[in-house]
Amino acid sequence: LVQGTTLDIQETKPGVRILEIDGKPYEVYESITSLYDYCYLVASVVGLVCIRIFGYHGAEAEKLAEETGLAFQVTNILRDVKEDGERGRIYLPLDELQAAGLAPADVVQGDPQRLRPVLLSLAAKARAMYFASDRLIPMLDRDSRAAMWVLAKIYRMLLERIERMEFDVFSERVSVPTATKLRVLGQGMGMTLWNRVVAR
């Protein structure tokens, strides 16, 4: 985790190319593989730590925790395209951009319609990885399941809001309303109480 979070202050990092756009240097991830390597360090390892705190059974749980962390981080990347660009970082992978006939300069220009194929592709990858959380939750200790359910539910809702806005993450920062988060949290608390009753 320390290795991942300090990558942003390193001058050079694996799988990242420095490209100049309009006279400004930008860090661009070269491939979806290099992006996933970064996401593993800053997000998947958090999932691995969490399940050790939560308690779990089954060897597959660790792999599912990794995928769940990836889903969360890719969702963050989709939400933060504009802010990351302003900081000189482009997390939309170069190979995905090129496959869609685009260039990093298109990310800087911030046209959601032009970027839609790449954003749609990343969203599909994240959506598929969220199924890992569905399989992970039953493997967690009964008293801890609601915590993971709440996290996955809110992040999934964030991805759905990005999709409903047709990936226009440039006009405004997409977020899940606080009232909605509180409702999900309340559902999670109810789930915890129910699980404790069942466990008796």
CATH of the domain at 143: 1.10.600.10
Whole-number pLDDT of residue 176: 96
* Full domain range(s) for residue 51: 2-199
Q: Is 151 exposed, middle or buried (0-12, 13-18, 19+ CB in 10 A)?
A: middle
pLDDT score recorded for residue 154: 97
pTM of the model: 0.90
Q: How many domains does the chain have?
A: 1
pLDDT digits (tens, 9 = 90+) for 138-162: 999 998 999 999 999 999 999 999 9
Beta bridge partners of 27: 18, 89
Looking at per-residue pLDDT, the higher value among 35 and 4 belongs to 35
